A = this chain, B = another copy of it.
Amino acid sequence: MAKELKELTPRSKDFSQWYLDLVIKADLAENSAVRGCMVIKPYGYAIWEKMQRQLDDMFKETGHVNAYFPLFIPKSYLSREADHVEGFAKECAVVTHYRLKNDPNGNGVIVDPEAKLEEELVVRPTSETIIWSTYKNWIQSYRDLPLLINQWANVVRWEMRTRLFLRTAEFLWQEGHTAHATREEAVEETERMINVYSEFAEKYMAMPVIKGFKSESERFAGALDTYTIEALMQDGKALQSGTSHFLGQNFAKAFDVQFADQTGKLEYVWATSWGVSTRLIGALIMSHSDDNGLVLPPKLAPYQVVIVPIYRNAEQLQQVNEKVAGIVQRLKALGISVKYDNADNKKPGWKFSEYELKGVPVRLAIGARDLENNTIEVARRDTLTKETLSCDGIENYIKELLEEIQENIYKKALDFRISQTREVDSYDEFKIEIEKGGFLLCHWDGTPETEELIKNETKATIRCIPLEGDKTPGKCMVTGKPSKQRVIFARSY
């Protein structure tokens, strides 16, 4: 994977190109030969694995178990829930045949017309329908509830315009699908999981988010309520980072899933679903990274520390190797992941650029003079500052430094969001402010008509109706009609 370390396009010049440059040059992902489908490269996938491991632990701590449901969904299932089919049928990969055969003209293989499926299969865009058709057989009595199941899977939505991680035809995600005896319990679950996502975003991704409800027109197709976490990217655009849906009894009715309650009475089951995807990697990049490359929070970095030796000859390298072996051991004993790069075919300067580009939180460098002085150079990726410290107890220093970097990255992103969040009270002002980016807190009359007018005129959408914060009523900035509370408008990914 040899690659020249060229300059990234600066964010100020072209944010979109900066993002693409960075994804490619940091070896995170690339477009594949299949339109809209990405290849997630090892370094990008290592970040996803860190995310998966942490989320999976959090799901299990909240009582969930994993399972796996089929990739394919019979076409007719999609039609069972009226809103759902409207939302998902339009952009599906459709399997129509189950065999290829040799081209009689000798040109490779062709679809065998005799192997046509009786009913076409859709590659899952989301799994509510196949899962609720299965739950029908699993749920008879209140004793079978709740069902708290998660699936890690690939899904396909045939997007016309794609962007690596942010919008791809195929992506990886997890989807939770739970079944409950009561409305209250399902609502509680919906809220529990948006809180899990919010905690994950803030504590692990170091990315501040605002929790809220989606407006009716932005809801998941088939949901009664969609909770979302919304983050602000460095270019002032919002990114929806996770959603949790209260599905009411829609899917239970669509697939006839009833249970006998304690009195023996049959009731429809209450449902939730919730998911986050590889899109989070895009959110992570656009939250923290800079014109020098990735900035990764220590809790999700594939390795937290890299050590680069500086030497003139084999003898010096040998001495550095010995010194570093002890440091590596002490770092690992504290649970810190570390890479020692003593590859001989790259210069230290090249390595410094490479690990800066890849966002390794802490870089250590050690040379002949350091050996004499028992010192080591410590460089932080987030602030790009360096200091030379004694090797004694360096492992404890690094451990604390990693925590500090995690907090600093979060604080920087939070300060940025606060600076970019403002109340706007007139629609004229709104039209000016929305051009500057950021979150605009505005009163809205609660109607889809006003929302659509704003969207058409300004490309801004309601990101969410915040759960927390100021709930003072007011008047809609467009129509002057009553508004229950300010909602967040922004342009978005």
Contacts and interface: CB of A to CB of B under 8 A. Distances in A.
Interface stretch (A42-50, A212-220, A381-389, A469-477): A42-50
Interface in A11-43: 30, 32-34, 37-42
B93 A78 contact: no
Given A75-B100, A109-B78, A345-B143, A32 B91 contact: no
Contact of A49 (B37, B66, B345): B66
Contact of A93 (B98, B144, B158): B98
Contacts of A91: 98-99
A78 to B, nearest CB: 6
A71 B170 contact: yes
Contacts of A30: 137
A73 interface: yes
A122 B91 CA distance: 18
Contacts of A34: 70, 72-74, 121, 130
Contacts of A94: 95-100, 111
Main secondary structure of the interface of A (DSSP, over half): mixed
Interface string A100-136: 1100000011010000000011110000001001100
Contacts of A154: 71, 153-154
A65 interface: yes
A487 to B, nearest CB: 32
Contacts of A140: 2
B108 A79 contact: yes
A67 interface: yes
Interface in A306-358: 345
Contact of A92 (B38, B39, B66, B100): B100
Nearest to A343: B143
A147 B2 CA distance: 12
A90 B100 contact: yes
Contacts of A85: 108-109
A167 to B, nearest CB: 15
Nearest to A103: B79
A1 B133 contact: no
Contacts of A41: 67
A89 B172 CA distance: 26
A141 interface: yes
Contacts of A95: 93-96, 123
Interface string A140-160: 110110010100011010100
Contacts of A479: none
13 contacts: A2-B141, A32-B70, A34-B73, A42-B65, A42-B66, A45-B65, A46-B66, A48-B68, A75-B100, A75-B111, A91-B98, A91-B99, A95-B123
Given A75-B100, A91-B99, 8 more contacts: A2-B141, A37-B72, A41-B67, A45-B68, A78-B109, A89-B99, A89-B100, A94-B97
